[in-house]
Structure 1
Amino acid sequence: MTTTTPARTTARMAALVSEIRKVVDRGLAPDLTAYLVGERLAPHLGEPELLTPEQCEGHPDRYRQHILHTEPDGSFSVVALVWLPGQETSIHDHVSWCVAGVHEGAESEVRYRLAPAAGPGGAARLVPTEEVVNGQGDVCGFAPPGDIHKVRNSCRTTAISLHVYGADVGRLGSSVRRVYPEPTG
């Protein structure tokens, strides 16, 4: 993943950030915060004036993260992830609640859970639970635990998704807490 900072904020992005701030400032439970932020994000997806042309640029080798906003108190961040065809994440979980909405294109997501170890002294194993394809306008949200997934661009064109994290991605560099190996067998 490559990370860049925004050249400027559009008026529509500023309005979205204001709406998100009102939800986050309520101090609700993480899963409820994610749900309400998702409701605020959905109407903005697909709107051409949401992102600048520079914030829609991908990278030929890996998906690209454009940091669009980090709240001064670190309570949330908004990023655009730009995916060229076939680009994907590793299997990972997050440091905080997260909301993702597809702005353009389509993304496939495989969700996982940790299953208990088969015997004494064994390690928990990763089990796929669901695969979904999210198209333009689709929103999903989650909060740890239960947020293990892998995401990839599943269309033949560029895919762009907006992500809101309950953390300061500008300071952390990413919202990823842990990366998991691909399950075997």
Structure 2
Amino acid sequence: MSATTVHSVTTVPSVTMSPTTPTTLIPAPPHHPRPRGGDDAWTELIEAVRESGQYTTRSEAERVTRIVLSALGGHVIGDERVDLARALPEEAARVVAAQIPVTRRLTAAEFVESVAARIEGATPATARWDVSSVLSVLPDLVGDDLVTRVLAQLPPGYALLFGRADLCPTA
């Protein structure tokens, strides 16, 4: 006994658009970098920070990365926080997501000082180097669009820490 498959075809009437016919464009979904998981992605991040900051050891770069991402994690909220965690390697995402959102936004200088307080023997100058060494590798990792959205949440002055020109005067 053989079975017969019947395919039905539906025709759609054609529509002719004139130059005056209004059209509605549906925006493309926002670009979300692919999540980067596993130990390899974490190692790549640490190596990028090690090179950026010219750290002599991987462990020093990892320590600084954890401290800076931990400090940043409290300042990024909402969709940007979720998207940042998705775009980062799993270990980095855990560091960011584990932070409780701050109640008061720090200026960029205060942010650097808060990082200096977390690093034994750090000065504001060395902490600024550490912060920039970590944050300046993020655009290549998570995408410029997401970094732009994160910067929009932060007070003026943070762009320089991410390796971008800061065209807005700081308060």
Q: Calculate the TM-score normalised by the size of structure 2.
A: 0.25
Greater fraction of residues in helix: 2
Greater fraction of residues in strand: 1
Larger Rg: 2
Which structure carries more relative contact order (alpha carbon 8 Å, separation 6+)? 1
